[in-house]
Structure 1
Amino acid sequence: AMGTGRVRLSGRCCAGAALVVLAVLGARGAHGYFLAMGKSECQYLNGTERVRYLDRYIHNRQQFVHFDSDVGVFVADLPLGEPDAKYWNSQPDLIEEKRAEVDTVCRHNYGVDAPFTRPGGPSRSPS
């Protein structure tokens, strides 16, 4: 299980509004449907002083590979993601682009995201 999908930064963090959520249903076939989703997330601490960019790839509700700007490379979360992580990490232009997205996506869009940002991340309903 993926859990909440939110990573805490130094105790107090603000998760920016998701910039991109894309869900695509696979073609119908003998085996039914599958879900593939890409989700990008910006996390802000003290405005743009500390920013983290996450790009997650999900197949059938399981995150299988992700890019984390704090790590700087793609990381496989499941064996399914190992070939993708290995291939994408071998592409210098792609890695450079992903590393820059903390600035080109997150910091660039901070003014747009700020009104929708909540201290401590997304709100949760009481159990």
Structure 2
Amino acid sequence: VFQEMFKAECHFINGTEKVRYMQRYFYNRLQYAMFDSDVGHYVGFTPFGEKVARAWNSDPVIMERRRTAVDWLCRHNYEVDA
């Protein structure tokens, strides 16, 4: 059985004063790529992950969506749930 998993995480410090958004990608429990809003781009951890990270980082639409997720996803959901 092969398993691919994607996780989106919002980390909050002092309410919404400091927010960090992360997207992590796994294949068979091995993380192969990640986006971290503190870093500002995708990072690959395997040869395949490096390849997809380069492709995603070169797409301005994908990068704009990831870089703004702190506001439209994390802060928005914090206010809805609070």
Report TM bin, short chain: over 0.9
- Structure (1/2) with the larger helix percentage: 2
SS at match of 1:85: helix
Aligned equivalent of 2:47, options 75, 79, 89: 79
**Structure 1 vs Structure 2: percent identity of aligned residues?**
54
Aligned position for 1:53: 21
Aligned position for 1:93: 61
Aligned position for 2:30: 62
CA RMSD, aligned part only?
1.1
- Gaps of at least 5 residues in structure 1 are 1-32, 115-127
Aligned position for 1:108: 76
Give TM-score, length-normalised by structure 1. 0.62
Give TM-score, length-normalised by structure 2. 0.94
Q: How far apart in 2 are the matches of 1:85 and 1:113?
A: 32
Aligned position for 1:25: none
**CA drift at 1:111:** 2.9
Aligned AA (2:54) = K
Q: How far apart in 2 are the matches of 1:72 and 1:48?
A: 18
Aligned AA (1:51) = V
Aligned equivalent of 2:9, options 41, 64, 84: 41
- Gaps of at least 5 residues in structure 2 are none
- Change over 3 Å in CA distance of 1:42–1:113 after alignment to 2: farther
Q: How far apart in 2 are the matches of 1:113 and 1:81?
A: 33
Q: How far apart in 2 are the matches of 1:82 and 1:113?
A: 35
Query: Whose Rg is larger?
Result: 1
Q: How far apart in 1 are the matches of 2:23 and 2:62?
A: 13
Aligned AA (2:15) = G
**CA drift at 1:78:** 1.7
